[in-house]
Structure 1
């Protein structure tokens, strides 16, 4: 079938003063206004919030000492961030949201399968964030949790609606406001000033168990792997010639740096102060250093977490629109993004305000479920991008139902499904313990199995894939995307305009 004309924007977008118009469309080369140096601080601030601090509560809650909790977390972060950071290179090269690119492995409609897993992750994170903020501010300041939950949801929705540039800007401002306060608190912890009369030793009386160590390791690994489905959502505005090693290193250092800082503080709070709520721990520890520091840090931490909720809402919107587009092709505009984000917000706010459960247990189980669902996908996606197609995609065909990647790509779907099924015997989540995990004494190594099985199986299934047959479509796509842009008007700073189609 002959190539169909690829619709291009009518005017170039510049600046951050307008609501972003692009969503699941390709970002034209003329609109690549992103800066590489912003990626590290962006992902650093993305993890520089109370959810990250909460991960430090998991190990001590299971009897693990602070020292072992820190070690398990550090190892898990190195593993999880390694896979997450490699996805960042796909944004500059393809100029597409992460899950649109996954059509190359799963097919135009087949991508709905991993889309369901990623949507669960985005909504799940915001549910937990709503619980953290609502319960925390009620405990610290006595504020009504329902009012707080609705208020933070509205702020997150506004950030997500305004889009990519405003999310980057919000994270930069929060980083420079928060970092000095956290440095002050960290120095006080190291010198013993933050413990106050409640301090009873760095290890809080805990010890070591293999099960607790692996739970902490897996939770830390899953934390940054759960970012994998939307890393390129925030790197797709970078120029196409952005060096791959530099973007990977920047995202890795940023995304791993803040958890390496905050998780030990969370473990110290749980083991030394005996707290089980991150905001209450921040308030208690901060006020031991300087009166009022606890309140300031608490509010800054809440704002950082709300900005991250905007991040999840933005990528959740891209996920939903990708799913709708996979069934009925559309070219969504502002109306579609506002309606989609508002719908997601109603769901996470309602669930977050109604859930009542042990926080540490719920957090650990949520992270494990996210990890299980995403591990086979990240293995398939990275193997395809780096080892099979080596970054060579017909980008316009990823946006077409009649593209060369097919409707249901059986290789990717089979590799994902087999990996997910074979992980089950190794899982330990909630009341369920798989038979192999039980034989190992309750140690959960399911994510290792998922990575190996899905990655290797997909590689084996694609050994006979005729990539030379894709080259004419790749070449045609490149020519289409590099057509000359319309001549700039007298007033070039205008928002991009598209035909509006509601989902």
Structure 2
């Protein structure tokens, strides 16, 4: 990559005379900036970047370097990410944990899924508008420090997603030929396969996701057909379903998990289209992202719920002994060795789901601040791989508990994050609004960004709303307890969003009036 002469001269002291100069220079020539920082390692890094390893991290993508024009990648990427093995256990939870009938499970998936899809698709539209990664965009509403808090939350979120992905992929590989491949080895295999495209970077991520959906979607159709052959009984769960307030609590709690399965992508949604031209129609990005999420997630989560209606004792035993991986292996068992081959492909489909988790974890670590941003992106990606692989090995026997608790908690913070970013965008950053848009050159200048007081206080109120409304095995908030029966009803994400929404608006008005930014 050659840098424009406006920014690159032979006199490095002049070109990089200040932090602001280096930020600007890093936007147009990140490979040269990184190589210049590491002295004796510079030539090695230059060779890595020349071989195709992505150098750009959280630096803004200048309009002149936005070479990608295929907005349809939004649809194909999110389809590949979600039409995977990892999405099936979410539907399984409807019956295995919340005892919902098939009909109520489907209705819950559609309704809460639509809400989560709309929220995530909105965040995706900010990528082309700003040319920034999602966690950097939060700085315009919550300041530099507030953006750092969001980055920490997102790092934990993506590592949690990755942990559940490698556990499930490893479980499935281990069930292909029981007692042959240890679960730990299966987890490590999945982790390494996820690392490779993320280490290379943005272009390789999109290449993989552009085609992976074809294979995984066919496999999902296979599972639907084989499940039907085994015998779906849509009324099988009705005798076990709760009634009255207990049923409402089950629907709300499962709905929070479904919402989280959609909005879990919101904190990374802009990361994968920030190279689209700024004049890309936002409505096109919104619709393609929404349907890229809604269709495959609903299709696969409902498949998970449907598989739980099979009453054949062999299938019930397979689930009891091997969790979701064991159940799927049993569904494919009539096909013999070909079924085992399909199971291998299904286990490897987890790679497509885990790629954005791994890639965006590296970006979120860089977004913690300049000391982290100067370290090459691929180093943080490798560190993320090590962390979630070790966590997967340690928590491999507790997959269902990790999944249900993690996704519920995930929906809490993504709810208030989305609300705060949306209010900033539609109210304060609109064309004729108080701030008149985004001054994108300020993204890495704390003195020019908002102080973040309004965003951080609203964040605290959002957390308060989640705490009083949540209903987890280990804690039930007072409002969550009032809304449900014995185990409460999870109102965490709804109250988190509401508390943040009513708090942020007046505080941001006051902040702009007093500070001017």
TM superposition score category, shorter chain reference: 0.7 to 0.9
What pairs up with 1:284-303 in 2 under 5 angstroms? 284-288=330-334, 290-303=335-348
- Who is 1:50 aligned against? 85
Contact (CA 8 Å) 2:232, 2:306: kept in 1 or not?
no
- Name which of 438, 446, 452 aligns with 2:481: 438
Q: Distance between the aligned counterparts of 2:62 and 2:266, measured in 1? A: 23
Alignment partner of 1:301: what SS?
Answer: helix
- Name which of 134, 153, 156 aligns with 1:98: 134
1:388 aligns with 2:407: no
- Name which of 401, 405, 410 aligns with 1:370: 410
Contact (CA 8 Å) 1:313, 1:345: kept in 2 or not?
yes
Cα deviation per residue 1:175-195 (whole Å; 9 max; x = unaligned)? 122223333443454xx32x1
TM-score where L is the length of structure 2: 0.82
- Who is 1:237 aligned against? 275
Contact (CA 8 Å) 2:128, 2:274: kept in 1 or not?
yes
Shift of 1:118: 0.8
Shift of 1:331: 4.2
- Who is 2:381 aligned against? 341
5+ residue gaps, structure 2, are 1-17, 33-48, 432-436
Q: Distance between the aligned counterparts of 1:448 and 1:212, measured in 2? A: 15
Q: Distance between the aligned counterparts of 1:63 and 1:150, measured in 2? A: 33
- Who is 1:313 aligned against? 358
Cα deviation per residue 1:425-464 (whole Å; 9 max; x = unaligned)? 1111122111121122211112111111212221222234
TM-score where L is the length of structure 1: 0.84
> CA, structure 1 residues 12+349, in 2 after alignment: closer, same or farther (shift >3 Å)?
closer
- Who is 1:351 aligned against? 391
Shift of 1:357: 4.6
Cα deviation per residue 1:383-428 (whole Å; 9 max; x = unaligned)? 11122212721111112233x114x410100011111113211111
- Who is 1:204 aligned against? 236
What pairs up with 1:474-485 in 2 under 5 angstroms? none
Contact (CA 8 Å) 1:149, 1:349: kept in 2 or not?
yes
Deviates more, 1:423-432 or 1:86-95: 423-432
> CA, structure 1 residues 355+388, in 2 after alignment: closer, same or farther (shift >3 Å)?
same
- Who is 2:35 aligned against? none
Shift of 1:125: 0.6
1:456 aligns with 2:502: yes
> CA, structure 1 residues 355+11, in 2 after alignment: closer, same or farther (shift >3 Å)?
closer
- Greater helix share, structure number: 2
Alignment partner of 1:20: what SS?
Answer: coil
Deviates more, 1:278-287 or 1:87-96: 278-287
- Who is 2:470 aligned against? 427
CA RMSD of aligned residues (A): 2.6
What pairs up with 1:37-76 in 2 under 5 angstroms? 37-61=72-96, 62-76=98-112
> CA, structure 1 residues 381+114, in 2 after alignment: closer, same or farther (shift >3 Å)?
same
Deviates more, 1:150-159 or 1:237-246: 150-159
- Who is 1:9 aligned against? 28
Contact (CA 8 Å) 1:380, 1:454: kept in 2 or not?
yes
Contact (CA 8 Å) 1:123, 1:344: kept in 2 or not?
yes
5+ residue gaps, structure 1, are 472-503
Cα deviation per residue 1:62-101 (whole Å; 9 max; x = unaligned)? 3211221111111111111111110011000100100011
- Who is 1:20 aligned against? 54
Cα deviation per residue 1:343-390 (whole Å; 9 max; x = unaligned)? 111111111101155433321101011112222111111111122212
Deviates more, 1:177-186 or 1:309-318: 177-186
- Name which of 96, 111, 116 aligns with 2:147: 111
> CA, structure 1 residues 298+425, in 2 after alignment: closer, same or farther (shift >3 Å)?
same
> CA, structure 1 residues 9+200, in 2 after alignment: closer, same or farther (shift >3 Å)?
closer
